Amino acid sequence: GSLSVSAQWFYRPEEAEKEGGDPRELFYSFHIDEVPAESVMHMCVVHFIPEHKQVPSKKEHPGFIVQQVYDHREEKMYKITDKDYEDDKQHQIDLLIMKTIDRIGRLPDRDPEDIPGDNTDKLSRRGLRKRPLKPKDVPRDASTGISEQFRKEDTPVNDNLKYFAILVRHEVITGNQYRDWWLDKFVDTILALPHSRNDNENSYAPNEVVPIVASLERSTFEALHADYHKYNQKMRTLLFNIKKSSVLCKRLMDKALDPPVLLTMTPDELK
């Protein structure tokens, strides 16, 4: 009769027995477990910032900062930009960095001399040489698994898409042929529809459509990435309703509906 939530843990520097720089710093982890729902106090914002990017000011973008991943079992630290995680976990981090970019925009690069050097030699002397995280190092949870159809190495970028150049320019290409096909299909469908605008009868411009479509696809993927068939079915349903309902399409494009909200709407609400 009790309610629990699945929680993905972050660590403070003192909890990981590491020295923190920015007082807002947290360490991401792949540690997941169930906690009582009443233990959730409030929402907070976490920005995932690659080490070579400038950290935004607290005044401009309040919230926590993540630049490293903490392996709580081996008590080791990794940069979020490292490329030797398991594929599904690497994809988790890529999505979180992408969400940060969507929220706060592109960040300027740091000066090269300000970027901390590689600590590999220092770590190796302490027996902490970086190595790929294997299943025994990081707890695996069924909810974090990604369907085989979504794995990047099996699905190269499809540059034959009709709007490939536009998707690349907006930096929304995922490198997965199924996801990128849906992005292209949504953009193509919405651009082809006649729309009743407040100012005229012109259709929407690609620069308006792509960010909204990308947000919708990303929300669907994050919710259903463990089951390709459910993801595919949801995308097909959303596209059908957007194509059939000018009201739904207009509300989405005019930002009266937040893209993730569409995932929670019933068939009748979509109609």
H helix or E strand, kind and range, residue 248? helix 246-253
pLDDT > 90: percent of the chain: 18
**176 confidence band (pLDDT: 50, 70, 90):** confident
pLDDT reported for residue 42 = 83
pLDDT reported for residue 144 = 47
Rounded to a whole number of angstroms, the CA Rg of the chain reads 21
CB-count burial class (<10 Å; 0-12, 13-18, 19+) for 268: exposed
pLDDT reported for residue 202 = 58
**132 confidence band (pLDDT: 50, 70, 90):** very low
pLDDT reported for residue 118 = 46
The b/e string for 131-157 (b: 16+ C-beta within 10 A; e otherwise) is eebeeebbeeeeebebbebbebeebeb
Name which of 117-131, 189-203, 227-241 the model is least confident about.
117-131
- Whether 222 shows a pLDDT value over 70: the answer reads yes
Q: Please give the structure tokens belonging to residue 151.
A: 């794995």
Residues 6+ apart with CB under 8 A from 97: 48, 50, 80
Write down the pTM of the prediction: 0.45
Calculate mean pLDDT across residues 23-40: 88
pLDDT > 70: percent of the chain: 77
- Are 147 and 221 a contacting pair, CB within 8 Å? no
Terminal Cα-to-Cα distance of the chain (whole angstroms): 35
Calculate mean pLDDT across residues 225-247: 86
Name which of 31-40, 82-91, 127-136, 176-185 the model is least confident about.
127-136
- Give the C-alpha separation, 23 to 35, whole Å: 26
Calculate mean pLDDT across residues 20-40: 85
Domains in the chain: boundaries: 4-104, 163-264
CB-count burial class (<10 Å; 0-12, 13-18, 19+) for 194: exposed
User: Span 4-104: which CATH code?
Assistant: 2.30.30.490
Residue type, 134: K
**26 confidence band (pLDDT: 50, 70, 90):** very high
Q: How confident is the prediction for the chain on average, in pLDDT?
A: 78
- Residue 248 neighbours by CB distance under 10 Å: 19
- Give the C-alpha separation, 50 to 34, whole Å: 29
- Are 175 and 221 a contacting pair, CB within 8 Å? no
